[in-house]
Amino acid sequence: MLEVSKMGSEVVPALSEHGIACEDVAVFAALDMDLDRSRADTYLVLTEKELAVLTGQTSSVGKPGKKFRKEFRETGFRSYDAAKIKELSIEEYVSTARVVCEYDGEDTVLAAMTKTVLRDARIFVKYAAPKLEGKEEEVNEDDFRDDRFCPRCGRRYPDPDRKICPHCMEKSKLYRRLFTFAKDYRRHMALVLLGIALTAAMGVAAPYFSTEFFYDRVLSQGDPWYGRIVTAALLVLLLKVGGMIVGAVSGVISARVTAKVTYQLKKTIFSAIERLSMSFFSARQTGGLMNQINNDSNEIYWFFMDGAPYFIKNVVQIAAALVIMFIMNVPLALCAIVVVPLFALTIRALFRRMNSLHARTYRSSRALNSSLSDALTGFRVVKAFSREKEETERFDRQSKRLARDSRSVTFFNNTAFPIATVIMYLSNIIVWGVGGWMAVTGAFGMTYGRLLAFLAYSNLMNEPMFMIVDMAYWFSGCTNGMQRLFEIADAEPDVRESAEPTSLGSMKGSVRFDNVVFSYEKGKKVIDGVSFEVGAGRSLGIVGKSGAGKSTLANLLMRLYDVDEGTVYIDGVDVKDLSFDELRRDVGIVSQETYLFVGSISDNIRYACPGATDEDVVKAAKLAGAHDFIVKLPDGYDTMIGFGYKELSGGERQRVSIARAILLDPRILILDEATAAMDTATERKIGEAVNELSRGRTVIMIAHRLSTLRDVDSLVVIDDGKLVESGTHEELIRAKGKYFDLYKLQLEALRNIGITEE
């Protein structure tokens, strides 16, 4: 039985009631809706004879762990004769989907679902549809590996693309792991801790000397310290200055350690990213990834730089102050802490509100920035359609919104925090009142100086509250950041190098695709059973509409992705068995999206082989037709290009990237729409150069403009992921198929402007 979703034991009796035994089931899947879109457990069951749709509600009985079982209450059952089902398929809607078929000649809806289980339904149809036609689909184990649930607690991962279970995540493990980065700095960290402890101690000692000690001893007659004002003042000064120095030193040390640790963290993450396969990048937008890494590591940096030391220092300080207060005077200490819970709760509420206000301000400022940069980059369009006024208004609207939001933040800060301070003063007032009475009556040995000391300590306890209450928020931000970064560091590349790669020695360059099937997204085949061959040193053109899957073929040959089924061979060896080094050295690609790095033109051409001589660089540029425009630049090959420097035109960029690939001197050269942005004359010239190059080299050219492919040895036509035709230009013209249609179309376009085939 092919279980797309696990068949629970609670379903078995319900099925057998309808005469379906477990061993008869060929394919099984669970969906989550009834036909009327209400929530229901719907099971699709395909047997030899029928396709049954069982609907009902599953509920849990008993306590977890103890006599726990699931109960299924049936609400509906429909059975369809397998012989009468045709065209089993899925119709996808905005938020739902349904399984439909032609039953006995009538369009019929079999089941409905939310998109949550769309994948299951797709896999069900993938295997059930061929079975209904009497065929067998080759079983791909990946389709049945259900990895959407946490193996530890069985809960569904919140995000199917990210295998993180928030319930089972161990925070302590994360922090321990972070500290492995800091293990070289153990001594530094001990120093920092010592420093923090010292500052805290001095911070706690200072109030005693400036209050009780000063008033009750230095200023009271008969005490051995009486009159020694200078000494007392120096003592207080020493404590303050000493605390400051120790604090500064430990701050400097911790800044260095934190910076180094975050640097190492970033380095680890970056090298992990470089190792990862393409699919990782397409799943997350690259821009988002960039921001995320930066934000997350900054969050960690500030947490350990600012957050953690202050936290430790304040906790020590609060604890010490409390102890001292209780030693000094128990009843008064109790009075002082009565207000603390109220105070802490107030601050917590205030912080929540403040965070949401800040988030809103952040959003408006982001919106303002993006519309500003939109209007500035698009100023040509703005001017051309004379929309200056509207753009100004738009900017004004957003600017006003930001101003309003910032105002509310300021307003909040200026009103809410004084309120909190007042509550804090409440504790002072209580201490004043009760302590004053004690001092006057002399109860509990209270003196004037001691009262002042007590007040100082109660402030020492209250002030850090502002920060400590917000600590949980800070802490969770840091934990998140760490989690995400380690997740990247731990991500397994899907495309892995073979442990014992086969070495070809010198690659000849023959390429063979054998029944290759590939999909970026499960169940949506982008390449469907494509087979073709290119002999070593021959050239092949791949033709097809945009979106037909041409570039995907190049990606598979480069092994940027791995095939789902079938094999790609180079010189008769599966590309999966070749070493990455050999593969990347001998297969060069010029892709549709040319990317040039910030640097000089020669740096960019030399990208893949940094050791190339200037002569080689010029030769490559000449071959690629890039030399002509480079010589006209004042700085020649040293012209800086890339973001923020000289802008090259689309065609120029393509020529530089072709030069880059040519310099690599690969045995197999893939040109993926590499000349699409050039004018016809330049393209023709490069075509000639490529012809030169293709002598003794395998060239695969992908294009939709057929004129680009005039000189290739053979052609394949790809449509909708399938290979529809192959052969030489003449053969394909004679076959009068897709290629012929395309050819006719493009020829007509030329004829319309008065050009005929020579």
Partner 1 sequence: MESTKLKDVITIQYVTPDNAVFTEKEGFLSLKFKTSDGEEKEYPRVKLQRNFPNETPEQFVSVLDKEDEEIAMIRDVSELGDAAAGMIRRELARRYFVFTIKKILYVNQKFGYSQWRVMTDEGEREFTVRDTYRNFRKIGTDRATVSDVDGNRYEISSLSGLDRASMKKIELYI
Alpha helices in 444-579 (DSSP H): 448-462, 465-469, 471-490, 550-558
Q: Contact between 490 and partner 1 (CB under 8 A)?
A: no
Point out which span in 58-66, 352-360, 493-501, 726-734 binds partner 1 (CB under 8 A).
352-360
Strands of the sheet with 698-703, listed across from one edge: 587-590, 668-672, 698-703, 539-543, 714-719, 722-727
Label the pairing between strands 668-672 and 698-703.
parallel
| Residue among 295 and 413 whose Cβ is closer to partner 1 | 295
Element (H, E) at 57: strand 50-63
Q: How far is the CB of 111 from partner 1 (least distance, A)?
A: 12
# of chain residues touching partner 1 (CB under 8 A):
31
| Residue among 169 and 229 whose Cβ is closer to partner 1 | 169
The contact pattern for partner 1, residues 249-288, with x = CB under 8 A and - = no contact, is ---------------------------------------x
Nearest Cα residue to 101 out of 110, 93, 92: 110
| Residue among 93 and 643 whose Cβ is closer to partner 1 | 93
Q: How far is the CB of 117 from partner 1 (least distance, A)?
A: 8
Q: How far is the CB of 524 from partner 1 (least distance, A)?
A: 13
Q: How far is the CB of 158 from partner 1 (least distance, A)?
A: 4
The contact pattern for partner 1, residues 307-346, with x = CB under 8 A and - = no contact, is ----------------------------------------
The DSSP secondary structure of 328-369, one letter per residue, reads H-HHHHHHHHHTHHHHHHHHHHHHHHHHHHHHHHHHHHHHHH
Nearest Cα residue to 383 out of 394, 395, 370, 392: 392
Q: How far is the CB of 109 from partner 1 (least distance, A)?
A: 5
Nearest Cα residue to 620 out of 662, 576, 657: 662
Q: How far is the CB of 204 from partner 1 (least distance, A)?
A: 37
Q: Which of residues 378-417 bind partner 1 (CB under 8 A)?
A: none
Q: How far is the CB of 118 from partner 1 (least distance, A)?
A: 7
| Residue among 162 and 705 whose Cβ is closer to partner 1 | 162
| Residue among 58 and 96 whose Cβ is closer to partner 1 | 96
Span between the terminal Cα atoms of the chain, in Å: 62
Nearest Cα residue to 327 out of 210, 197, 445: 445
Question: What are the two backbone dihedrals, phi and then psi, of residue 416, each rounded to the nearest 5 degrees?
Answer: -70, -40
Q: Which of residues 27-46 bind partner 1 (CB under 8 A)?
A: 37-39
CB 53 within 8 A of CB 20: no
Q: Which residues contact 746 (CB under 8 A, 6 or more apart)?
A: 705, 706, 707
Point out which span in 67-75, 357-365, 607-615, 703-711 binds partner 1 (CB under 8 A).
357-365
CB 359 within 8 A of CB 473: no
Structure tokens at 250: 């430990």
The DSSP secondary structure of 257-268, one letter per residue, reads HHHHHHHHHHHH
Q: Which of residues 59-118 bind partner 1 (CB under 8 A)?
A: 93-96, 100, 106-109, 114-116, 118
DSSP-based three-state secondary structure for 568: strand
Q: How far is the CB of 126 from partner 1 (least distance, A)?
A: 19
Q: Pick from 13, 62, 76, 160 the residue near partner 1 by CB under 8 A.
A: 160
Q: How far is the CB of 361 from partner 1 (least distance, A)?
A: 12
Cα–Cα dist 468/168, whole Å: 26
Q: Which residues bind partner 1 (CB under 8 A)?
A: 37-39, 93-96, 100, 106-109, 114-116, 118, 158-161, 164, 166, 169, 288, 356, 359-360, 363, 480, 483-484
